[in-house]
């Protein structure tokens, strides 16, 4: 890869289709992050239960596990533009439904679970199709830069979205203190409605792409079961894919604790909804700092050690977060969590895209979804269950987070010892290959 390309990831923005989709996605992801924060707060307001919060992880992951493999087949058989536009429109409709039931006072935990599951099921079809489009929007040599820009966009949205959600919730309640009650209803409904509107730009960008979304191989003529088998065989017969996906799954399973942040914000740090929103933004702020740093100074080509160190740092920062009783220290720990996760994600996403042939990218993404979405969502269930075992929700949340960080450190150590393919990974070996 020429040095001038490697050192200028922003060059991907020269390409019209990528630039339009990137800008539209910035708004859409911010809206989605606002809704994620609002839903967790909504459930906390209705129940004050760590178990109810933990069950959100189960609600979000089951549809992904059930549908993601089929979503990959759809992405590799049908026009990816059509699939992405349809899924974006459906998720907008679900957000409108959330806004309507919340505004009219017909909201309930059960209904929130159902609508959240509907969004998760749609994501299982949206992500493979949308991610499989990206390598077609830029030249192969600029793909690492495009992926880095996507991560920058994603984490920038994760800063603004949660912070804005916290402000809107607190504003609706008339206070930034720890009072949480029915007065937040209008703020929650507004957040859901804003998320629905945020999908419009992506739908427009997808509709006006000049790049074809058609699959250019004979996969569309193959039997769906055969196509599924081919995708699974590719992923699980490639050792470095298996190891990095497993590392991602177990690290986020043990250390995934975002769902407990309402408890930390209200019962431990006494920060209220505004403080909660900024805590949700802290990791994204660290990730944004990391993505800017990796854009200006790309990671070294031999990235195996970088990946393992970043996962270990992720676990250590999680331990500090769980033990902290200071808002600034907690914020700083979550900042490091986001920074470490970003570095790990850059390595893993680039690896998967450059290793995978175009004809298999949709199915590879769908298999990966089970790992990268299953880990944190099942981790939220695990975190909620552990916290629920204690009489005090605050004590349970602390034990859950600290133990998760310790286990993540153990996972990084095991992979470092058992997976030479990960330790020796060099991205240059794959960028030289055909697209």
What is residue 213's predicted lDDT score, i.e. its pLDDT?
A: 56
Mean pLDDT of 302-329: 90
What is residue 334's predicted lDDT score, i.e. its pLDDT?
A: 95
Mean pLDDT of 119-125: 93
Q: What are phi and psi of 11, to 5 degrees?
A: -60, -25
What is residue 210's predicted lDDT score, i.e. its pLDDT?
A: 80
pLDDT digits (tens, 9 = 90+) for 13-70: 888 888 999 999 999 999 999 999 999 999 988 888 888 988 988 898 899 888 887 8
The tokens describing 119, both together, are: 């969004």
Round to whole Å and give the CA distance between 75 and 367: 12
Round to whole Å and give the CA distance between 321 and 317: 6
This prediction has a pTM of: 0.74
Mean pLDDT of 70-82: 82
Q: Which of 329, 328, 326, 336 is nearest to 269 (CA)?
A: 326
Q: Which of 143, 152, 146 is nearest to 291 (CA)?
A: 152
Instruction: Kindly list the distances between the CA atom of residue 178 and the CA atoms of 170, 175, 191, 259, 267, in Å, as whole numbers in the listed order.
Output: 9, 8, 19, 17, 9
Which single residue is written with the structure tokens 């549809």?
63
Which single residue is written with the structure tokens 């970003």?
342
Query: What's the start-to-end Cα distance of the chain, in Å?
Result: 13
What is residue 2's predicted lDDT score, i.e. its pLDDT?
A: 46
Count of Cβ atoms closer than 10 Å to residue 430 Cβ: 15
Q: How many residues are present in the chain? A: 435
Q: Which of 390, 411, 244 is nearest to 315 (CA)?
A: 411
The tokens describing 176, both together, are: 């930034």
Per-residue DSSP letter, 78 = S
CATH number for the segment(s) 3-431: 1.20.1250.20
Mean pLDDT of 113-132: 91
Positive or negative CA dihedral for 260, 262, 263, 264? Answer: positive
DSSP 311-363: HHHHHHHHHHHHH--SHHHHHHHHHHHHHHHHHHHHHHHHHHHHHS-GGGHHH
Positive or negative CA dihedral for 359, 208, 19, 131? Answer: negative
Round to whole Å and give the CA distance between 36 and 115: 12
What is residue 1's predicted lDDT score, i.e. its pLDDT?
A: 44
Answer for the pair 204, 24: CB distance below 8 angstroms, yes or no.
yes
Round to whole Å and give the CA distance between 134 and 18: 7
The tokens describing 61, both together, are: 């992951």
Query: Nearest 5 degrees, angle CA 273-CA 159-CA 289?
Result: 135
What is residue 223's predicted lDDT score, i.e. its pLDDT?
A: 59
Mean pLDDT of 102-123: 94
For the chain, domain boundaries:
3-431
């Amino acid at each position: 890869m020429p040095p001038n390309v490697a050192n200028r990831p922003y060059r991907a923005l020269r390409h019209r289709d990528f630039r339009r989709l990137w800008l539209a996605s910035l708004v859409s992801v911010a809206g989605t992050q606002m809704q994620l924060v609002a839903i967790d707060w909504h459930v906390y307001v209705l129940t004050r239960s760590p178990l109810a919060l933990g069950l959100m992880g189960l609600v979000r992951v089951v549809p992904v596990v059930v549908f993601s493999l089929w979503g990959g087949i759809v992405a590799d058989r049908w026009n990816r533009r059509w699939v992405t536009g349809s899924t974006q429109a459906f998720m907008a409709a679900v957000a409108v439904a959330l806004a309507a039931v919340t505004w009219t006072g017909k909201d309930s935990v059960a209904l929130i679970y159902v609508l959240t599951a509907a969004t998760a099921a749609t994501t299982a079809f949206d992500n493979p199709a949308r991610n499989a489009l990206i390598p077609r929007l830029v030249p192969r040599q600029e793909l690492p830069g495009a992926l880095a820009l996507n991560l920058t966009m994603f984490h920038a949205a994760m800063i603004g979205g949660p912070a804005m959600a916290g402000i809107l919730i607190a504003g609706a309640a008339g206070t930034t203190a720890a009072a949480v009650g029915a007065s937040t209803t209008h703020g929650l409904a507004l957040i859901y409605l804003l998320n629905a509107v945020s999908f419009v730009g992506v739908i427009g960008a997808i509709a006006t792409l000049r790049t074809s979304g058609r699959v250019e191989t004979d996969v569309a003529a193959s039997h769906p079961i055969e196509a599924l088998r081919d995708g699974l065989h590719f992923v699980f017969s490639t050792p470095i894919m298996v190891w990095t996906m497993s590392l991602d799954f177990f690290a986020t399973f043990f250390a995934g604790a975002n769902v407990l942040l309402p408890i930390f914000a209200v019962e431990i740090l006494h920060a209220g909804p505004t403080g909660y929103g900024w805590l949700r933004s802290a990791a994204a702020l660290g990730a944004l700092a990391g993505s800017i740093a990796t854009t200006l100074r790309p990671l070294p080509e031999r990235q195996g050690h970088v990946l393992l160190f970043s996962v270990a740092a992720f676990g250590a920062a999680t331990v500090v977060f769980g033990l902290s009783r200071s808002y600034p220290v907690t914020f700083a720990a979550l900042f490091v969590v986001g920074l470490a996760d970003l570095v790990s994600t850059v390595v893993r996403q680039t690896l998967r895209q450059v290793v995978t042939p175009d004809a298999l990218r949709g199915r590879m993404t769908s298999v990966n979804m089970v790992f990268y979405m299953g880990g944190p969502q099942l981790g939220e269930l695990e975190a909620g269950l552990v916290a629920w075992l204690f009489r005090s929700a605050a004590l349970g949340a602390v034990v859950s987070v600290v133990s998760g960080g310790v286990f993540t450190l153990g996972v990084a150590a095991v992979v470092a010892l058992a997976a030479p393919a990960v330790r020796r990974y060099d991205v240059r070996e794959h960028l030289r290959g055909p697209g």
